[in-house]
Amino acid sequence: MASKLTRANRTGWLMAFPGVALMTLFIIVPFFLAFAFSLTNQRLASPNAAEYVGFENYSDLLGVAVFTLEPERDDSGAVVRDGDGEIEYPRLRNFTRNNPDYPNLAGKREWFSWQSGENRVVVLASDVVFMKALVNTFTFVLFVAPIQAGLALCLALLINQKLYGINIFRTIYFMPVVVSIVVVSLLWRFIYSPGDGLLNNVLGWLTFGAFEGIDWLGRTDTALPSIMAMSIWQGVGFQMVIWLAGLQNISPTLYEAGEIEGASKWQTFRYITWPGLRNTAVLILIVITMQAFALFAQIDVMTQGGPLDSTQVLVFQAVERGYGKQDISGGSTISVILFVIVLSISLVQRYLTREK
Amino acid sequence: MADVKLKGIKKSYGPVDVIKGVDIDVNDGEFVVFVGPSGCGKSTLLRMIAGLEDITGGTLEIGTRVVNEVPASERGIAMVFQSYAIFPHMTVRENIAFGLTIAKTPKAEKDEKVMEAARILQMENLLDRRPSQLSGGQRQRVAIGRAITRNPEVFLFDEPLSNLDAALRLDMRMEIGKLHKSLGATMIYVTHDQVEAMTLADKIVVLKDGYVQQMGAPMDLYHRPNNLFVAGFIGAPSMNFLDVDIVSQDGTSAKVNSPVVAEFAAPVWRDGVGQTPKATLGIRPQDLRPVAEGGILEGTVTLAERLGTETIVDIRLSHGHRVLASLGEDRVFEPGEHIRLDFDHEKAHLFAPATDQEKQAAQSAA
């Protein structure tokens, strides 16, 4: 006989209450608050009441304009050149500041530009730092997701063999996952440190001293790749375990059938292993993409977005704005944009990898 | 087409010997069934012929080649697995063509061979389906189709019907029988089901504990089993075994009796019978028939199962013994009814004395 305790609906709800309440308070409520804040000028602590501002926060972040600068010409119509022979252009700020003829450029700054014949085409953004964060985040995802997934699959294939002591390798590859990302980031800061950092030392030793030390995290061209490499290393073990589970789900008789038909190693992978990993691949792709978009701790610990915003990413910007600059509405807006991006990418991935 | 010769084949996993020296000749075009209880090594033996397991000792010849070290794909065999081993992401057509795809066969030839296999198996209309849209029997047919397109010298079947339900099993069994007749290929078939063995085989090999117990045509095994195990394993319901004393014997027969068996003369032809005053008497349930007077056995009916074409009667003898009788007619018996049984004495089997354990093992293996 079931007692009243186990049958009563109320008891069930009561038991679920602590968990549900915490999740509501810290996940569901903030989720909806972010949407709400992104439409106001709410600040973290302010004596003034928040006002509804519509989509101003979004246009402040996402505003982009393309503007063509024509060269300065002298009275005869010839292009004016400076002492080095470079074409001279009017100053951009003439158009972006207090110029009633160009209201769409007001307040925007130069993001990047290129030369088009005599003209210079300038792309302006309302928030250049946000744009850099957006590009860096996408770059990070585009490199990390496929490389990490591919590397993890290679490792999984390697450790899926029946070799003596294979569990030692499994443990070694999985270890970085167990260590906190903050600790890993601190350690890698030592590895990457300029001068006599571990990486510089090893490279110097391997090249018999020919390699000159690089300030890995201090240069705009190496900072983001360095963080990518370290992130791949840290997360690859986790994906490896998921791949491994997928591999072990494939029936051994399929491999035996392949063996009898004379399939080569590559054909075995192409016709048996890879199709058998389909569902795992979808899972891994989505998980890695979402994890990569959420990049924060590495940046926070290692570079704080620098140097020169070369490692700014969306989540770091959201936190930086919301708490650093006390601009909660700006931070919320970034969070909502990130949510929309990840959601759309997941939906597209799901559509592309659907069961036909 | 080719014959297959196993000479002194052995298989060990570390210190454990699984196959302990097996000699089997499979003639060209023959349908040979390996049968035995689970763990007897029959599947291991088949996988060694296929090249999926290494051979620890002895030689394996297919055709005229020794193939001990030849990779599976070059042995000229095709194998059908119990779990079908068809690829879930491929259509039936792609599955059947798998071996040809691997071998990079030109498309025209591939299509032709697939159609040929589909025609033989009557599944032309299923070619564009996926395995998930097929029944168990159809899936097994796809697996057989894949084997046919390899055009092998020897077909190997590893318990191909075990995953099918009873009705389908009967259909597929007949289908495989027909396939053997139409292709005329050498086939080796592993099963634990003695009915499959009896119906399909030209030659049955009974295996137990890594040894061949007996090898021969199904009816040879049924009528003249070499030993108690084969006698109990072949035939359903299993042969009845009773301990008897040998009263007297001449060259070809012996007078036997026991507290539950009235004295009669049984034929003696097996090795080891008559060397001791004890023996084990085997009587097939189908040979027993009820008689009004006399008879060799008597007891009371504890249960009668009426199957329409036959009636299986469970009879308790004195001293705790029991026998099953299978009567080829529909008859009504009441539990507790007294019954006398007799049989054609020429059909009695005398074995060297066996322990209860051996008797039970033989009966429960079937």
Q: CB B85 to CB A267 under 8 A?
A: no
Q: CB B52 to CB A272 under 8 A?
A: no
pLDDT confidence bin for A208, thresholds 50/70/90: confident
Does this model's pTM top 0.95? My answer is no
pLDDT one-digit tens code per residue, B175-224:
899 889 988 889 999 998 888 899 999 999 999 988 999 999 999 999 99
Contacts of B276 (CB under 8 A, 6+ apart): B246, B352, B353
Q: CB A256 to CB B78 under 8 A?
A: no
**B183 lies within 8 A of chain A by CB:** no
Query: Who among A254, A262, A264 is closest to B85 (CB)?
Result: A254
pLDDT of A192 strictly over 60? yes
Contacts of B293 (CB under 8 A, 6+ apart): B340
Q: Tell me the CATH number of domain A129-352, given options 3.40.30.10, 3.30.450.20, 1.10.3720.10, 3.40.190.10.
A: 1.10.3720.10
CA B93 to chain A, closest CA, distance in angstroms equals 14
Which DSSP letter does residue A269 get?
Answer: I
Q: Which of B13, B43, B46, B52 to mutate to test the interface with A (most CBs of A within 10 A)?
A: B52
pLDDT one-digit tens code per residue, B251-301:
788 899 888 888 888 898 887 787 888 889 999 999 999 998 888 898 999
Residues of chain B neighbouring A254 (CB-CB closer than 8 A): 85, 87
Contacts of A33 (CB under 8 A, 6+ apart): A332
Mean pLDDT, residues B17-37: 91
Contact at 8 Å (CB) between B18 and B44? yes
CATH 3.20.20.70 at B237-365, yes or no: no
| pLDDT for the residue numbered B32 | 94
SS3 for A179-202 is CCHHHHHHHHHHHCCCCCCHHHHH
pLDDT of B365 strictly over 70? no
Write down the domain spans for chain B. Answer: 4-231, 237-365
Pair of tokens at residue B30: 């023959």
**B83 lies within 8 A of chain A by CB:** yes
Q: CB B51 to CB A259 under 8 A?
A: yes
Pair of tokens at residue A191: 């590895």
CA dihedral angle for residue B85, residue B90, residue B92, residue B93, rounded to 10 degrees: -120
Share of chain A above pLDDT 70, in %: 97
Q: Cα dist. B243→B224, B262, B265, B284 in Å?
A: 19, 12, 15, 15
Among A66-80, B106-120, B129-143, B250-264, the minimum mean pLDDT is found in A66-80
Q: Which of A253, A260, A266, A270 to mutate to test the interface with B (most CBs of B within 10 A)?
A: A260
Classify domain B4-231 by CATH number: 3.40.50.300
CA B76 to chain A, closest CA, distance in angstroms equals 9
Write down the domain spans for chain A. Answer: 4-37, 64-125, 129-352
